[in-house]
Chain A
């Protein structure tokens, strides 16, 4: 059956349609959108700039559940503002959490006991703060050729914030883990419209859960989490893709058997052996695939933007680079189609999990089109790929980014 809340939310569009308040697509757009040409045609024509409550206008890919990506202009700094941070939900029922009654229940058959934590309880625990990239597993899915189904993201399903909260291991220590606890499972307050839709729950291996950097965060860039980024508390799994960063966290369970529900398998899987990854999730591996884990090394040019007009003369190529937590060691820029590469200057180091800005001074000598490319390498020697590593779900797109601008 469908729940009442689902009917209510879903009804809004129908009711407007029935009352004659239709908006033509051009009227719905709040401003011009420069979307990558490689996106599916329907994704390009369907996207609009739209402001969710508490948010600046972001690029709307779907209204319900809300999937909104951050425009490229916000990636010129290493920290992404809260009101421009991307929004990604799998399921459409997203309750406003009342902090007076909200709590996180911790337990499970892999734990020795049970405990509950209110927001005040979390704040009583020793706090930790770190800058980390939250990146949707499917970021850049829309650029896949051939296209694969899903939310057809461009470049902006990611952001970097300073997350402050309690260490997950301190919550787990309150209940005590049995030695059989192989995974830690997380659930949030959101749910599907139909009670037959699998609830969005995710697990991570216990070794990752007890790392000092895995947090239950209640602050983002010095402010409470925005509702649409997981208020009042969400999981922070630095280095790993956003699928594990459970929003509106309500339940933490220690498991003695691998979690087998839909969102762990078949969802969020990558083929075995195709990607050069270090972090493994062995309790979930099969003969053919494995859960996505750490973020692949990547970079993005944000200045000039693709298609921009620039004056002839000296210009600065700028952007950001990031990886799964090993740290960026270099970014190289090429202005001759990848034949030669020059080292860019790296900006401030906000930590191994954060965006790292880079810049490279270039002389735009001739009028006409100029293409520049950027390629990041991390401290364990991993670098970006020149050809897409295709996979059915559209994950881990880290093809060298290229922009073409007009010099005049």
Chain B
């Protein structure tokens, strides 16, 4: 799927309506691959940095659950735990 994403991306950059989205670099730490792979399909990753570092562990758990339950993000239970742990360790209070 990642290959598909990269292949399709080339066609996008010329679209006048698309924002010139710059890569958002999150902290390099265990779990970042799951964050990039699961979260960036629907939103840029600056949402995470913007909402930091104030969330406590319960708030990050709630945010991950909201993405899955309210917004329908197709994230496995195992990945959801890795993502929540990454957010708590790197963008939490």
Q: Which A residues are closer than 8 A to B by beta carbons? A: 1-2, 4, 6-18, 22-23, 25, 28, 40-43, 45-47, 50, 52-53, 60-66, 92, 94-96, 146-147, 149-152, 192-198, 227, 262
Contacts and interface: CB of A to CB of B under 8 A. Distances in A.
B29 interface: no
Contact of A193 (B41, B53, B54): B41
Contacts of B9: 8, 11-12, 14-16
Interface of B: 2, 4-6, 8-13, 16-25, 36, 40-55, 59, 63, 70-74, 91
Contacts of A147: 54
Given A16-B22, A17-B23, A194-B71, 6 more contacts: A2-B74, A40-B53, A42-B48, A64-B44, A192-B72, A195-B72
B52 A42 contact: yes
A247 B6 CA distance: 30
A299 B42 CA distance: 35
Question: What is the predominant secondary structure among interface residues of chain B facing chain A?
Answer: loop
B36 A14 contact: yes
A11 to B, nearest CB: 4
22 contacts: A8-B8, A8-B12, A12-B12, A13-B24, A14-B9, A14-B40, A16-B9, A16-B23, A17-B25, A45-B49, A46-B49, A52-B19, A63-B46, A65-B43, A92-B42, A96-B17, A150-B51, A151-B50, A192-B71, A194-B71, A197-B71, A198-B72
A13 B70 contact: no
A93 B63 CA distance: 21
A15 B5 contact: yes
A8 B11 contact: yes
Contacts of B11: 8
Contacts of A17: 23, 25
